[in-house]
Amino acid sequence: MRVAGIQHPPPPLRCAVARTEHAVTVTAPHAAPVHEGADIRPFPPRTTISALLYAQVQQADGADWRNVLLRTHSAPEPDDQVYDPADRPFFQSVITFPYADIRGTLDALGLPADASLSVLAAEFLPTAPPERDPLTAGLGSTRILRTSPLTAVPAVCLPQRLL
């Protein structure tokens, strides 16, 4: 059955977050398009994945908590290697936020170094011409395919020299 004008929702985007004393790393899989039961994923993927890093900050009146955007990054372009669907069931983008950059942004905003952090990943459809960062220059002109839920960055015991 075909109905013109109907768009089925994409599958949910789940991102994995890891934190070390050096960086916060976000990993998210690209969507897997299927046509008549066949996997038609191109390589490199045509979609792009970006991540947004937030700090949770309590309001001045103490009534609620807010998410403050600290940084955004887009995944780097994959290298031109031969894509074999049998070897790679799906392609993932990896985005890294160096801890030195996070700490610099927290300091600039007057936020504590131990602020709770969270991330959100967003997958964007291709544009012509391609935008380098759809979250900044391309915001509003780049169509979002799907987003992940806000995901907490796990705590890590940081050495005293980093705090």
Sorted by where each starts, the structural domains of the chain and their CATH numbers stand as: 19-31+46-156 (2.60.310)
Q: By CB neighbour count within 10 A (0-12 exposed, 13-18 middle, 19+ buried), where does 70 fall? A: buried
Helix, strand, coil in percent for the chain, rounding step 5: 10, 35, 55
> Which residue stretches of 22-154 are H helix?
99-108
Give yes or no for a contact between 25 and 96, defined as CB atoms under 8 angstroms apart. yes
For residue 161, is it left (φ>0), alpha (ψ between -120 and 50) or beta? Answer: alpha
pLDDT digit of tens for each residue in the chain (163 aa)? 555 666 667 788 999 999 998 999 999 998 888 788 887 877 778 888 999 999 999 988 989 999 999 999 998 876 655 555 554 556 889 999 999 999 999 999 999 999 999 999 999 988 777 666 777 776 777 888 999 999 999 987 655 554 4
Give yes or no for a contact between 136 and 73, defined as CB atoms under 8 angstroms apart. no
Tell me the two tokens of residue 92. Answer: 């993932």
